[in-house]
Amino acid sequence: MTHQSEQIDAVRKAWHDDPDIGELADRLHLIPRETEPACQWRVVGEVPSIAARRKATPLAREALATADVEDDVSLEPAIRESDETLAAEVRSTLRAEPLLTEVLVMESGDRPPALAQPWIGVIASDGIIHFGGWVPELSLAALAEGLAWETGACRDVRNLISYQPLNENPDAAIAEAATTLMREHPRLGDQPIHVEVSLGEATLSGTVSDDKKWQLAESLCWFAPHVRAVDNQLEISGELT
C-alpha cells in the first residue's frame, strides 16, 4: 500500500468513526492534487447533514496532520430552487431580520452605497450563496450566513462580509448568531436555550419540550459559521409547548 493510500484510508476511518458522519462517509471523497496549488488535498461531496458538512474537512486535516486541504463539501439542499429564486429568498429573509434593519441588502448589479452605509450583497450561483459588503459587527455577518443556511435551499455559503471592529470576540459573535437563530425560529422561540462557545466549540444548555426540538436546536447551532463542534446538553422536559 502506498503512503497516499494509507493517508486516504486514515481520513476515511476518521469519517466513518465520527458520529455525525458515519455512513455519510461514502458520499465524501479525498482527492490528492497532482500539481502544486496552495492545497495538496481536496475534500468533495454532498451530504444531507450540516454537521457532517462542517466536520468533514477539519477531520481530514486532523487525520492528515496538515492544513493544506481544500474544503469543497456542500450541503444537500432540502429544497431545489433556481439561483434567481434562492438569491431573492435570501435577500427577503435578511430584510425581514430585525437586527439587520440598518443594513442595506442589495440586488445583484447594484452599486455599493456610501462608505458609512452598512450593506450586504447577495448572489447565488449553482446553489451557492455568495455574500459581500460590510457590517458593524461580526455577529451580524455570522447571522446573515446562518439565515442563508436556514432557507434549506442552498448548497453552500461563501461569506465575504467584512466587519468592524476586527478584534471582536469571535466566540461571542458565534454564540449571539446561534442564539438569534433559535430565538427567532417559530418552534424554538419559547424554549429556554443557552449557547456558550469556546474556541469554536458550542455548548447548548437548558430545556426543550421534545426530541425534535432537541435536534432542531443542534442543527441551527451548526448553521452559525465557524462552529467546530456542538455539545448538546439540552434536557427534554416532555411538556408540550
Q: Per residue in 55-112, pLDDT tens?
A: 999 999 999 999 889 999 999 999 899 999 999 999 999 999 999 999 999 987 888 8
Q: pLDDT at position 41, please?
A: 93
Q: Report the alpha-carbon distance of residue 217 to residue 207 in Å, rounded.
A: 11
Q: What angle do CA 122, 125, 129 make, to 5 degrees?
A: 40
Provide the grid cell at 201.
466549540
Q: What is the chain written as a DSSP string?
A: --HHHHHHHHHHHHHHHSTTTGGGGGGEEEEE-SS--S-SEEEEEEES-HHHHHHHHHHHHHHHT-S-EEEEEEE--SS---HHHHHHHHHHHHHH-GGGTTSEEEPTTPPP--TTS-EEEEEEETTEEEEEEEES-HHHHHHHHHHHHHTS--SEEEE--EES-TT--HHHHHHHHHHHHHHTSTTTTTS-EEEEEETTEEEEEEEESSHHHHHHHHHHHHHSTT--EEEE-PEE-----
Q: pLDDT at position 145, please?
A: 95
Q: Which of 55, 54, 63, 28 is nearest to 43 (CA)?
A: 28
From first CA to last CA, the distance across the chain in angstroms is: 57
Band of the pLDDT at 114, cuts 50, 70, 90? confident
Provide the grid cell at 225.
459559521
Q: pLDDT at position 49, please?
A: 94
Q: Is the pLDDT of residue 165 over 80?
A: no
Band of the pLDDT at 126, cuts 50, 70, 90? very high
Q: Which of 43, 38, 95, 108 is nearest to 68 (CA)?
A: 38
**pLDDT, tens digit, 9 for 90 and up, residues 128-159:** 999 999 999 999 999 999 999 999 999 999 99
Mean pLDDT over residues 219-235, rounded? 94
Share of residues in the chain with pLDDT > 70 (%) = 95
Q: pLDDT at position 163, please?
A: 86
- C-alpha pair distances (Å), 200 with each of 164, 177, 214: 20, 13, 20
Q: Is the pLDDT of residue 239 over 90?
A: no
Mean pLDDT over residues 103-127, rounded? 90
Q: Is the pLDDT of residue 241 over 70?
A: no
Cis, bond preceding 165 (omega within 30 deg of 0)? yes
Q: Is the pLDDT of residue 166 over 80?
A: no
pTM: 0.85
**pLDDT, tens digit, 9 for 90 and up, residues 20-64:** 999 999 999 999 877 665 568 999 999 999 999 999 999 999 999
Q: Report the alpha-carbon distance of residue 1 to residue 227 in Å, rounded.
A: 35
Residues with Cβ within 8 Å of 153's Cβ and at least 6 positions away in sequence, in order, are: 77, 78, 79, 80, 81, 85, 86, 89, 127
**pLDDT, tens digit, 9 for 90 and up, residues 174-187:** 999 999 999 999 88
